[in-house]
Structure 1
Amino acid sequence: MSEYTLNVKDLTKTYNAGKPGEVRVLQGVSLAVKPGEVVGLVAPSGAGKSTLLHIAGLLDSADSGSVAIAGTDMTKLSDRKRTAVRRDTVGFIYQFHHLLPEFSALENIVIPQLANGVSDTAAQARALDLLDRVGIADRASHRPAALSGGEQQRVAFCRALANEPALLLADEPTGNLDPDTSDQVFDALMGLVRDTGLAAVIATHNLALAARMDRQVRLTAGVLEMI
């Protein structure tokens, strides 16, 4: 068993390589995250934090370097196996909730579990438990349009954790909310993370929120540094 849930080494990524206007987004980025650790990734818009999260979560590939999840080097796996790891081991949260509008809050959390082979009874029980942890179990039957922005994002958090991932990657998860709601929703997210003991990398431009995480790193001009 690896000491780290996520271990990326010497990642490089360039868009339009060799062409006029090429952009070197990542320049030898390395980051290791232990189980139960929450790392705040601070970067201005356009600095490459989304690219880093997508590569770490196997949604994109680096030009060079390696990504290991739970001790397994992902760069050596087939696309099919990488997809399986992404489904079973990685949870994603984005700035916008991307909930399925025709389904209730509960159903949005149940569906990914059913796709992963969980029984309907067990999936509903876990969904209700997760909704209860973030304080909106009474909104389980409501569709996204009937939920506030903060409630929608809490449902998105629950969905990301539905299949009990080992790694959570969040890209500006409260960036679309007002300051008061952002604080409340962030508290809910941190409660879920602490309860489950997973490793998490949370990208934010909010330095106050980043300061509440275990440690902070800053991505500037393609280089990652400790804050």
Structure 2
Amino acid sequence: MSDVVLKLEGVEKRYNKGLAGEIHVLRGAELRLKAGEMVALVAPSGAGKSTLLHMAGLLDTPDAGTVEIGGQRLSGKSDRQRTKARRQDIGFVYQFHHLLPEFSALENIALPQMANGVAKGPASERGRALLETVGVAHRADHRPAELSGGEQQRVAFCRALANKPRILLADEPTGNLDPTTSDQVFDALMTLVRETGLAALVATHNMELAARMDRVVRLENGLLVDG
């Protein structure tokens, strides 16, 4: 059985910009992401990193090519099927944490599980375990506004992994943080990835952080190249 959990094959994406004409963002992008692997996605601003993550995360559909998760082709499936796959198999982390301000850190992690049918007790138990892993269990009952930027982003990581996805997609997850906090938050992310064995694709401008991952892929002229 293959350990490839995310496969992009010949993925193309174009956008019609009216008078500016058609913009060809992805031109046949190829990617294999294995379980337990942490891959850095680097490219200049505007090169299409977010577009690629949207394709991989089934948030958008390619104009050509395929996206497979766990060997199942999902790029051509219905919205309902893609939504189910996102909920079960994919966790997302963005540059801004997007935590729900009226709920505590623990509640922000428990709620996605409860939406998937997990009872409150087990959902809270898993939430506390995740918070413990990233070193903020003592802040479980605090709301986002009471947390530092680094703490908020660590909670966001935990929320992304609440439903035990197979893939984590992160778009500049340390982009809003100072260098010291960025290192601390990235260490927490690496700990989560290593302990859960999920596959992670992390878009970043930080080449020092990229060098600490298992490998680096660059988006150049709509194609992915190693290094």
* TM-score of the superposed pair, with normalisation by structure 1: 0.97
Tell me the residue number matched to 1:217.
217
The aligned amino acid for 2:97 is H
Deviation at 1:19, TM superposition (A): 5.5
Tell me the residue number matched to 1:203.
203
Are residue 178 (structure 1) and residue 178 (structure 2) matched?
Answer: yes
Tell me the residue number matched to 1:75.
75
5 Å-filtered alignment, 1:43-122, equals 43-122=43-122
Query: 2:154 & 2:8 partners in 1: Cα distance?
Result: 28
Post-superposition Cα deviations, 1:81-119, rounded to whole Å, max 9, x if no partner, equal: 111010010000000000000000000000000001111
Change (3 A) 1:78 1:182: same
Post-superposition Cα deviations, 1:100-149, rounded to whole Å, max 9, x if no partner, equal: 00000000000000001111110000000000000000000000000000
Aligned length: 227
Deviation at 1:45, TM superposition (A): 1.1
Query: 1:19 & 1:92 partners in 2: Cα distance?
Result: 34
Per the alignment, in what secondary structure is the counterpart of residue 75 of structure 2?
helix
Tell me the residue number matched to 1:36.
36
Per the alignment, in what secondary structure is the counterpart of residue 127 of structure 2?
helix
* TM-score of the superposed pair, with normalisation by structure 2: 0.97
Q: Which moved more, 1:212-221 or 1:107-116?
A: 212-221
Structure 1, gaps ≥5 residues long: none
Aligned partners of 2:62 and 2:75 also within 8 Å: no
Query: 1:60 & 1:127 partners in 2: Cα distance?
Result: 29
Query: 1:132 & 1:24 partners in 2: Cα distance?
Result: 44
Deviation at 1:78, TM superposition (A): 2.0
Q: Which moved more, 1:38-47 or 1:19-28?
A: 19-28
Per the alignment, in what secondary structure is the counterpart of residue 164 of structure 1?
coil
Query: 2:52 & 2:65 partners in 1: Cα distance?
Result: 12
Deviation at 1:2, TM superposition (A): 3.5
Tell me the residue number matched to 2:152.
152
Post-superposition Cα deviations, 1:168-205, rounded to whole Å, max 9, x if no partner, equal: 00000001100000000000000000000001100001
Per the alignment, in what secondary structure is the counterpart of residue 142 of structure 2?
coil
Structure 2, gaps ≥5 residues long: none
Aligned partners of 2:131 and 2:158 also within 8 Å: yes
Query: 2:137 & 2:177 partners in 1: Cα distance?
Result: 21
The aligned amino acid for 1:55 is M
